[in-house]
Amino acid sequence: MNRFEFIKNISLGVAFMNLHNLDSLASSFQTTEKLPALFIGHGSPMNALTDNQFTKTLNQLGKSLPKVNAILVISAHWETKGTFVTTSKLPETIYDFGGFPDELYQVKYPAPGSPELANGIISNFHDLQIKADNKMGLDHGAWTILKHLYPKADIPVLELSMDYTLSPEQHYKLATDLSKLREKGVLVIGSGNIVHNLRRLNFNNHYGLPYDWALEFDSIVKKDILEKNHKHLTQIIH
């Protein structure tokens, strides 16, 4: 299962329930204008400490977005068999990496969780059987970008795992249903990279030049997204 599959959207004839009642999931949230869905290539965990163009852009983006009631992150770093959502009231900051400066391991992102929203998602996805996880915190795919998007850490955050047993079409259907939350002020963020393979990384390439195949694939994905050719997106990763 490739990490970007969650953003591919195509309908399928799988027995998912029709989730009209997702509109009432976050009953305590006021209806808002429909928030955008974000996909952010989070890059190195060191971005959490770095003041660069990437982090400056995240900061400006956070200031430009409408009011957000809660944040749902789908991180490439939480892959599971089955689909899980975090239910912790106070999700801990997870350092799911190694070999970085000690300073990075001191960074905290103390945002609250949202058990109410998490349990609402669980109760409305009977056929998919989304399960609760009260131990999982915020992995670096979440907190390293949220630290710049919302530095005050005052917005409830929960994570949804990526089930590597689902097909691209099933991921799309799930994303389609979850999009209803965007009308309740829930910001949905996919965090990962379109092309990511550290095993193919050339550490002797001091100029950071990408492989031709990586550029080609990235351009195909970009073109399909801009043209809303979702069917092709689900096909090219099979």
The 10s digit of each residue's pLDDT in 212-221 is: 888 898 899 9
How many helices (DSSP H) and strands (DSSP E) are in the chain?
Answer: 6, 8
CATH class of 3-197: alpha beta
pLDDT at 30: 67
From the list 107, 94, 102, 109, the residue with the least C-alpha distance to 49 is 107
What number is the average pLDDT over the span 23-28?
A: 53
| C-alpha to C-alpha distance for 235 and 238, rounded to whole angstroms | 6
What number is the average pLDDT over the span 83-112?
A: 96
pLDDT at 207: 62
pLDDT at 128: 78
For residue 196, is pLDDT > 80?
no
| C-alpha to C-alpha distance for 92 and 189, rounded to whole angstroms | 19
| C-alpha to C-alpha distance for 114 and 88, rounded to whole angstroms | 7
For residue 10, is pLDDT > 90?
no
What are the contacts of 102-110 at 24+ separation with CB within 8 A? 103/49, 104/45, 104/46, 104/48, 104/49, 107/48, 107/49, 107/143, 107/147, 109/138, 109/142, 109/143, 109/146, 109/147, 109/153, 110/153
Residue 129 vs residue 91, higher pLDDT = 91
Contacts of 81 (CB under 8 A, 6+ apart): 163, 164, 165
Helices (H), 77-139: 115-123
Amino acid at 165: T
% of residues, the chain, pLDDT over 90? 55
Three-state DSSP class for residue 160: strand
pLDDT tens digits for range 137-186? 999 999 999 999 999 999 999 999 999 999 888 888 888 888 889 998 99
Three-state DSSP class for residue 87: coil
Directed axis angle between helix 53-64 and helix 140-149, to 10°? 70
Quote the mean pLDDT of the chain: 84
What are the two backbone dihedrals, phi and then psi, of residue 214, each rounded to the nearest 5 degrees?
A: -70, -40
Predicted structure pTM score: 0.82
pLDDT at 106: 96
Number of Cβ within 10 Å of residue 167's Cβ equals: 18
